[in-house]
Amino acid sequence: MIRITLPDGTAREVARGTTPADIAAAIGPGLAKAAIAARVDGELRDITRPLDADAQLALVTSRDEADALELARHDFAHILAEAVQGLFPGTQITFGPSTDDGFYYDVMAPASRGPFTMDDLPAIEEKMRAIIAADKPLRREVMARDALIATWQNAGESFKAEWAAELPEGEELSVYWSGNDWMDMCRGPHLTSTGKLDPAAFKLTRVAGAYWRGDQNNPQLSRIYGTGWLNKKQLDAHLLRLEEAAKRDHRRLGQDMDLFHLQQEAHGSVFWHPNGYLIWRELEAYMRRAIDGAGYKEVKTPQVMDARQWEQSGHWGKYRANMFVIPDEVPNVDDEGPVISGEADWMALKPMNCPAHVLIFRQGIKSYRDLPLRIYENGCCHRNEPHGALHGLMRVRQFTQDDAHIFCREDQIVEEVQAFCALADRVYKEFGFTYSIKLALRPDQRFGSDADWDKAENELRDAVVRAGLATPEFGWEELPGEGAFYAPKLEWHLTDAIGRTWQVGTIQSDRVLPERLDASYVGEDGARHRPVMLHRAIFGSYERFIGILIEHYAGRFPVWLAPVQAVVATITSEADGYAHDVTAKLKAAGIRVESDTRNEKINYKVREHSVAKVPHLLVVGMREAEEGKVAIRSLGSDGQRIMTLDEAIAMLSHEATPPDIR
RNA sequence: GCUGCUGUAGCUCAGUGGUAGAGCGCGUCAUUGGUAAUGACGAGGUCGGGAGUUCAAUCCUCCCCAGCAGCACCA
């Protein structure tokens, strides 16, 4: 007999080999029906897997949503694989986990046909529904590793065989049978049968390439994605969320709101239109106030430097593949012959600002009294990113960082990092973001001694601990292996209005670059010392941050950031004169305002400016003109507020003032 | 960079082996209206670029470029 303890503390003596399903049945028929899996000593397991020792047991039902979704998605993935093999014999299966909103399965299409495409999805979905309708039992079986490898090899499943062969020798491996005709190697757990899934709760969404084991050098497989839920209602809600997210897409809003454009002759670099650049200018002004107040000095450094300088900084060796290089010569102007000789020295566009800031630091002799020295630049950088990585404003080839480097003594690091935490906190809150902080620890490939890494990691961790931010509610987490090759990183991950996260801010403590570029200061002792260099950014880049803001606000910018803050719209042309007066007064008060005296109906104007997401529409007709008032209709509300022009100016001026100086 | 898909008017998209169409937008005229589309008329396109097949290519084939989704990358 074994002793099974339930969550309420009661215990039952049952025979070895009893299953959680048996226990559920013994407790009551309702639970027996509702239970879909079990947690045995905290581990999620099949409800039909026999218990073989004393254990804590919790029965899982669909009310335990996270567990239930995990199980369902995992099952959907298996059924997807079974369906694909059923429809396309010769397809090899590899690996198919659950994801945040569903599942995918990586398969290798048979050589007789090309990779799978979207056109294949309806048939696969139909087949999956047939498998669910057949209510095939899902049965766990333990196999010896060697037997399993042989099974895979006989079935022509070379990926599975390769994988099984790499699992520890002698280990027992579990497989799951779907009925008696299909099986997959899997740790489980699964539901008891395919019929437990709701056939209306999933949808295959797309097909894409993915490398076997995530390695570019391996064969590329077809990855079939699906979204999967417990019921149709959840699925529909999810599809609606996707639609909402698509409506916020910054590429679409950027075009609709005439903020910027991209075109193929300059792919990966942004053409900022007047409206978009107004947002940029507001952010720049905001950031300048922030860094001025925090004791930074702003600089501007060269866009192009000699390759030898990049050799010395280490970028030429490590980063050249992503750099734009330029021959330092006058191009051949004859029509005959090559444009360049190929013999000139190379220069390169800067991919980052750090070396230039060290060069400024090195001018003149620095004393310990000069430290910490905080050098800031709106630094325009170019990186030749892989083409497939480019994405709207989020990943571009030319971008401007709000970049600063703090040169300081070792004993100043913690204080500086803490001050940065406070500054970042203020900025992110003023834009309405919540955030989490993560510490990216040393990667496998790195410069510097373990002792230095210990020190650097501890400094960053200490600073966050002292700032009181290293807590679960700030999402504190340490990420092994994710640091840069020269330094650990603190990363700020923002959560936007619809719950997506974006990594933007960072601070890194670097002892490598000051060494390579020979930066030093004279200490109290009269000797030369190496400063530590803190790399830091809050927006990350203006391009990306604006992209995030567009999606965060869904284009409805707060008034201080809105490119056009108000439009004065007339009802009849008789009010044109008054409208121009109102516009002039608002302009004089510093409001970005336009007047709309076009020969159009007010309905049309209301619609157009609403769609354009103008925060305030000031409607004026003869009534307003006679009384010296305006009727304000604000974005997001249907009603209007009648107020005097002075009241309107006061309100708009307040809203148009950036939050940091309000 | 890899796999798949896409590229037609300013935008969103339809379409065909015999050199193109809609809606919105734009222009002109009429209309002067009270809070999400007034009406009429009109102008706009080497159908991403190049090569090939064909009597004939926007359509079929190949190459290139860019975009989209994912992968890989993002020191």
Tokens of A458: 């501890």
Query: What average pLDDT does the segment A220-233 reach?
Result: 91
Identify nearest nucleotide to residue A639 by CA to C1′ distance.
B35
Q: Which single residue is written with the structure tokens 């401007």?
A: A400
Q: Which nucleotides of B are covered by protein (CB under 7 A)?
A: 1-5, 7, 11-12, 30-38, 65-75
Residue A499 confidence (pLDDT) above 90: no
Could you tell me the distance in Å between the CA of residue A553 and the C1' of nucleotide B33? Answer: 33
CA distance linking residue A103 with residue A227, whole number of Å:
6
Are the CB atoms for A413 and A394 separated by under 8 Å?
no
Residues 383-442 of A with CB under 7 A from strand B: 385-392, 395
Query: What average pLDDT does the segment A323-333 reach?
Result: 90
DSSP code of residue A60: E
- Determine if the peptide bond prior to A372 is cis (ω within 30°): yes
**CA dihedral over A235, A237, A238, A243, signed as positive or negative:** positive
Identify nearest nucleotide to residue A117 by CA to C1′ distance.
B4
Residues 483-502 of A with CB under 7 A from strand B: 484-486
Identify nearest nucleotide to residue A486 by CA to C1′ distance.
B75
Could you tell me the distance in Å between the CA of residue A391 and the C1' of nucleotide B68? Answer: 10
State the amino acid at position A10 in one-letter form.
T
Q: Which pLDDT value is given to residue A381?
A: 97
A247 sits within 7 Å of strand B by its CB? no
Could you tell me the distance in Å between the CA of residue A216 and the C1' of nucleotide B1? Answer: 9
Query: What average pLDDT does the segment A478-497 reach?
Result: 89
Which neighbouring-strand residues pair with A17?
A: none
Question: Three-class SS string for A120-177?
Answer: HHHHHHHHHHHHHHCCCEEEEEEEEHHHHHHHHHHCCCHHHHHHHHHCCCCCEEEEEE
Residue A181, phi-psi category: left (phi > 0), alpha (psi -120 to 50), beta (remainder): alpha
Residue A363 confidence (pLDDT) above 90: yes
Considering only CA atoms, which residue is closest to the C1' of nucleotide B10?
A255
Identify nearest nucleotide to residue A318 by CA to C1′ distance.
B75
Global pTM reads 0.91
State the amino acid at position A630 in one-letter form.
V
Q: Which single residue is written with the structure tokens 């604000």?
A: A634
Which neighbouring-strand residues pair with A479?
A: A440
pLDDT in tens, A564-584: 999 999 999 999 999 999 999
Let me know if A626 is exposed, middle or buried by CB neighbors in 10 A (0-12, 13-18, 19+).
Answer: exposed
Could you tell me the distance in Å between the CA of residue A123 and the C1' of nucleotide B61? Answer: 29
A147 sits within 7 Å of strand B by its CB? no
A268 sits within 7 Å of strand B by its CB? yes
State the amino acid at position A317 in one-letter form.
G
A610 sits within 7 Å of strand B by its CB? yes
Are the CB atoms for A579 and A568 separated by under 8 Å?
yes
Q: Which single residue is written with the structure tokens 């996707």?
A: A242
The residues near A375 (Cβ < 8 Å, ≥ 6 apart) are A296, A297, A299, A357, A360, A361, A404, A405, A406, A407
pLDDT in tens, A69-95: 999 999 999 999 999 999 998 899 998
Residue A126 CA neighbour count, 13 Å, CB half: 6
Looking only at the bridges linking them, the beta strands covering A260-261 and A477-479 are: unpaired
CA distance linking residue A338 with residue A193, whole number of Å:
70
pLDDT in tens, A38-66: 999 888 889 989 988 898 999 898 888 88
CA distance linking residue A31 with residue A461, whole number of Å:
47
Could you tell me the distance in Å between the CA of residue A323 and the C1' of nucleotide B50? Answer: 29
Identify nearest nucleotide to residue A624 by CA to C1′ distance.
B34
A118 sits within 7 Å of strand B by its CB? yes
Query: Long-range contacts of range A9-17, CB-CB < 8 Å, 24 or more positions apart?
Result: A14/A51, A16/A50, A16/A51, A16/A52, A16/A53, A17/A50, A17/A51, A17/A52
A317 sits within 7 Å of strand B by its CB? no
Task: Provide the angle, in degrees to the nearest 10, between the axes of the packed helices A645-656 and A576-588.
Answer: 40
Identify nearest nucleotide to residue A252 by CA to C1′ distance.
B11
The residues near A524 (Cβ < 8 Å, ≥ 6 apart) are A368
A621 sits within 7 Å of strand B by its CB? yes
A462 pLDDT tier (thresholds 50, 70, 90): very high
Coil, strand or helix: which one is A266?
Answer: helix
Residues 361-380 of A with CB under 7 A from strand B: none
Considering only CA atoms, which residue is closest to the C1' of nucleotide B38?
A601
Dump strand ranges (E) for A462-547: 477-479, 489-495, 501-510, 521-522, 528-529, 532-537
Residue A431, phi-psi category: left (phi > 0), alpha (psi -120 to 50), beta (remainder): alpha
Tokens of A171: 């280990």
CA angle A227, A474, A65 (to 5 degrees): 30
State the amino acid at position A256 in one-letter form.
D
A301 pLDDT tier (thresholds 50, 70, 90): very high
Identify nearest nucleotide to residue A610 by CA to C1′ distance.
B36
The residues near A330 (Cβ < 8 Å, ≥ 6 apart) are none
Could you tell me the distance in Å between the CA of residue A600 and the C1' of nucleotide B29? Answer: 14
Q: Could you list the active site residues of A? A: 354, 383, 401, 403, 405, 489, 535
Could you tell me the distance in Å between the CA of residue A267 and the C1' of nucleotide B21? Answer: 31
A662 sits within 7 Å of strand B by its CB? no
A217 sits within 7 Å of strand B by its CB? no
CA distance linking residue A588 with residue A202, whole number of Å:
57
Could you tell me the distance in Å between the CA of residue A255 and the C1' of nucleotide B39? Answer: 29
Residue A90, phi-psi category: left (phi > 0), alpha (psi -120 to 50), beta (remainder): left
Could you tell me the distance in Å between the CA of residue A387 and the C1' of nucleotide B48? Answer: 17
A606 sits within 7 Å of strand B by its CB? yes
pLDDT in tens, A168-211: 877 778 899 999 999 999 887 899 899 999 999 999 988 888 89
Lowest mean pLDDT segment, chosen from A203-212, A586-595, A596-605: A203-212
Residue A457 CA neighbour count, 13 Å, CB half: 21
A638 sits within 7 Å of strand B by its CB? yes
Residue A12 confidence (pLDDT) above 90: no
Identify nearest nucleotide to residue A351 by CA to C1′ distance.
B75
A223 sits within 7 Å of strand B by its CB? yes
